[in-house]
């Protein structure tokens, strides 16, 4: 599974979608910014994968990253991945004639601030073509560790009764 995830991330190479840097560089920059800001490994891997669904789910890409991450990360990190699209909208929806305040529909949710922070500090900041991101190889060991064992899954054996 980690090999397929790393392979799929590489499909984002050359996918510019109207931005100054391609989706792979954007993903690396998001993860690098989170790592250099002292975020933990699971957070950094979530940041690396947050747009991995772009190639298959052009209209709902956050849900794809969220589904892949769900068994392996906390509820908060899953929620950030799942909802980052609505929160990212704050930074550009108004340029497309859309409502930049759609994230307000989640105001009051326990993970609202965490998701807003992810988008403000890392995601929307990660389109800088002059930023020196770490290469994918730097994150590979982290991806392998995070995806080594699910925290929760209907396919995982139930813990032994104590």
Least gap, CB of 119 to Fe ion (angstroms): 8
Q: Which residue has tokens 């979608």? A: 17
If the CB atoms of residues 91 and 112 are measured against Fe ion, the closer one turns out to be: 91
- Between CA 97 and CA 18 the distance in angstroms is 17
- Between CA 90 and CA 96 the distance in angstroms is 11
If the CB atoms of residues 51 and 82 are measured against Fe ion, the closer one turns out to be: 51
If the CB atoms of residues 14 and 153 are measured against Fe ion, the closer one turns out to be: 14
Least gap, CB of 59 to Fe ion (angstroms): 12
Least gap, CB of 30 to Fe ion (angstroms): 6
Category of 54 on φ-ψ map: left (φ > 0), alpha (ψ -120 to 50) or beta: alpha
Least gap, CB of 124 to Fe ion (angstroms): 8
If the CB atoms of residues 46 and 143 are measured against Fe ion, the closer one turns out to be: 46
Q: Which residue has tokens 């995830």? A: 5
- Between CA 9 and CA 136 the distance in angstroms is 9
User: Largest Cα–Cα distance of the chain, in whole Å?
Assistant: 57
Residues that bind Fe ion (CB under 5 A): 51, 123
């Amino acid at each position: 599974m980690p090999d397929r995830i790393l392979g799929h991330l590489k499909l984002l190479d050359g996918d510019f979608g109207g931005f100054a840097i391609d989706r792979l560089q954007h993903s690396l920059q998001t993860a690098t910014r989170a790592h250099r800001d002292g975020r933990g490994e699971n957070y950094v891997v979530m940041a690396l994968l947050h747009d991995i669904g772009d190639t298959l789910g052009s209209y709902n890409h956050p849900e794809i990253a969220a589904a892949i991450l769900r068994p392996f990360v906390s509820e908060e990190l899953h929620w950030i991945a799942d909802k980052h699209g609505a929160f990212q909208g704050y930074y550009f929806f108004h340029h497309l004639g859309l409502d930049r305040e759609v994230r307000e529909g989640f105001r009051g949710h326990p993970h609202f601030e965490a998701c807003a922070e992810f988008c403000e500090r890392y995601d929307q900041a990660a389109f800088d073509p002059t930023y020196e991101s770490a290469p994918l190889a730097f994150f590979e060991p982290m991806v392998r560790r995070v995806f080594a064992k699910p925290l929760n899954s209907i396919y995982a054996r139930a813990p032994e009764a104590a």
